[in-house]
Structure 1
Amino acid sequence: MGVAYSVGEVDHLYTFFSQWSPDFTTKCNKMNKKPRSKTYLIREKNHNHYLFVEQDKAAMIDKLLRDSGNPAARNWIITVKEPKRRLSLSSFEDSDYQEDLEDSLPVLSHQSQLLDNLHLEKIAAHLPVRTQGYPWQLVYSITIHGSSLKTLYRNMAGLDSPVLLVIRDMHKKVFGAFSSDPFKISHSCYGTGETFLFSFNPDFQLYKWTGENSYFVSGNLESLQIGGGGGCFGLWLDADLYHGSSFSCPTFDNAPLSTHEDFIVQELEVWTVQR
């Protein structure tokens, strides 16, 4: 178990303990000289803020609060489970903290036919910070919903969260795209530079926005296109989500995502961040 408390009240909490227990600062300083213990990643209850707290320090704070006999003080903390989701590591440079989170993976609302732990770990490490720490909700699956681009669009109506498209073709290659915006019918391209392409072919390859153009995503009833320029799409799917193609495109400077530029879809899933 870890301990979570408001990011905005950390200084006040420290002051409270310092005044209540004169030797609190001394104890903390002594603990800082010890070898690093296991760390906990904790999340503020009502906001998307995260802190690292070492196990011994968390235990001391918890004990002091429990022994204080002050009901108001006990409201400073909330007991939470140790994190089970991978969170963004981009703002943390300490390798020990990264090792502590190595086994954390995104939580899926359904069992995926395409994503195993390796896929989850590789993809999640590159998702935008704003998506980290949330469960993934299955929005569309060929197995469940049938092969229809129109159904895919309908299932995403009303969504305002990013989506992850994952495909397995008839050659057993797994690849796809992360889109900053849910897929929809549009008269022009939409999305942001958070959008990227990826493939496991067999090693993980990530293709980020080059800045060359803004042809991130576009769609109509006949097809869905991701990335473009020069008459080529980074990823293209037809209305039946059966035929697809992947070519190098200026948007992502990607290699073809599959071993064949034209492919047949065997399975397809779309996930969204459940916020």
Structure 2
Amino acid sequence: MKGLRWRYTRLPSQVEDTLSGEEGEEGEEEEEKEAAPAPAPAPEDPVEPQLAEASQVLGASEIRQLSLHLPPRVTGYSWSLAFCTARDGFSLQSLYRQMEGHSGPVLLVLKDQDGQIFGAFSSSAFRLSKGFYGTGETFLFSFSPQLKVFKWTGSNSFFVKGDLDSLMMGSGSGQFGLWLDGDLYHGGSHPCATFNNEVLARQEQFCIKELEAWVLS
């Protein structure tokens, strides 16, 4: 018996089997985590409007900010410059002529002698009218210098009215939220019930330096 030598064969224990199994499972879990699909991308920014030509009044930032307040139905519409004082002169009658054939809506933007930028969105094209027209989509706005938007309060329906010698938007107590005279050179802005707006310019009376009317279609 002294010449015999025992040979031990090391068998894997149950504990080792369990550990090796857990390591394998952890490895598989890590692989599964790596293979997991990426989270859904955040919703895309609203579609920025496409302008047929550059604006002399609005910059890219102003256009982007304004587009967020336009009615959903015009999202993705292109902007066409139907009228601008630099090209068509300072004449309200000329503005009406350029609006012929368009049903709207229209974005009116202007810059005054102080460099203040403000204007209005009209649900339909500007035209001569005996009374006020338009819908509750109409609103006034001003960059002072941050954008402020004044939407319909529901108190009245005095949205837009066009005469030969003036264009008016918003009214109440004999005051207009925004009005322009026949030569598109002088204008005014007062708080009004239609939009509960502030004075859009730095002063209630202002002189227009540049004006543009964009048709959205």
- TM-score where L is the length of structure 1: 0.65
Q: Which amino acid aligns with 2:187?
A: G
Instruction: Within 5 Å, give how 1:49-128 maps onto structure 2.
Output: 96-97=42-43, 100-101=44-45, 104-128=47-71
Asked if residue 173 in structure 1 is aligned to residue 176 in structure 2, the reply is no
Determine the structure 1 residue equivalent to 2:188.
Answer: 245
Instruction: Within 5 Å, give how 1:1-275 maps onto structure 2.
Output: 34-36=37-39, 38=41, 96-97=42-43, 100-101=44-45, 104-274=47-217
Q: Which runs of 5+ in 1 are unaligned?
A: 1-32, 39-95
Higher relative helix content:
1
Deviations 1:208-267 (A, max 9, x none): 000010000001101000000100000000000000000000000000001100000000
Provide the C-alpha distance between the structure 2 equivalents of 1:207 and 1:36, rounded to a whole number of angstroms: 38
Offset at 1:121? 1.1
Q: Which has the higher contact order (CA 8 A, sep 6+)?
A: 2
Provide the C-alpha distance between the structure 2 equivalents of 1:256 and 1:214, rounded to a whole number of angstroms: 19
Offset at 1:183? 0.3
Offset at 1:35? 1.8
Instruction: Count how many residue pairs are aligned between Structure 1 and Structure 2.
Output: 184
Please give the secondary structure, in 2, of the residue aligned with 1:144: helix
Provide the C-alpha distance between the structure 2 equivalents of 1:36 and 1:133, rounded to a whole number of angstroms: 27
Deviations 1:62-107 (A, max 9, x none): xxxxxxxxxxxxxxxxxxxxxxxxxxxxxxxxxx20xx326x5211
Please give the secondary structure, in 2, of the residue aligned with 1:122: helix
Provide the C-alpha distance between the structure 1 equivalents of 2:66 and 2:178, rounded to a whole number of angstroms: 17
Offset at 1:176? 0.2
Percent sequence identity over matched residues?
47
Q: Which runs of 5+ in 2 are unaligned?
A: 1-35
Provide the C-alpha distance between the structure 2 equivalents of 1:258 and 1:113, rounded to a whole number of angstroms: 18
Provide the C-alpha distance between the structure 1 equivalents of 2:170 and 2:184, rounded to a whole number of angstroms: 17
Higher relative strand content:
2
Q: Is the 8 A contact 2:48 2:76 kept in 1?
A: no
Provide the C-alpha distance between the structure 1 equivalents of 2:39 and 2:97, rounded to a whole number of angstroms: 51
Offset at 1:36? 2.7
Offset at 1:203? 1.0
RMSD: 1.6
Offset at 1:34? 1.5
Offset at 1:135? 1.0
Provide the C-alpha distance between the structure 2 equivalents of 1:161 and 1:36, rounded to a whole number of angstroms: 41
Q: Which amino acid aligns with 1:101?
A: D
- TM-score where L is the length of structure 2: 0.82
Hey, which bits of structure 1, 4+ residues long, moved more than 2 A?
A: none
Determine the structure 2 residue equivalent to 1:75.
Answer: none
Instruction: State which structure, 1 or 2, has the greater radius of gyration over its C-alpha atoms.
Output: 2
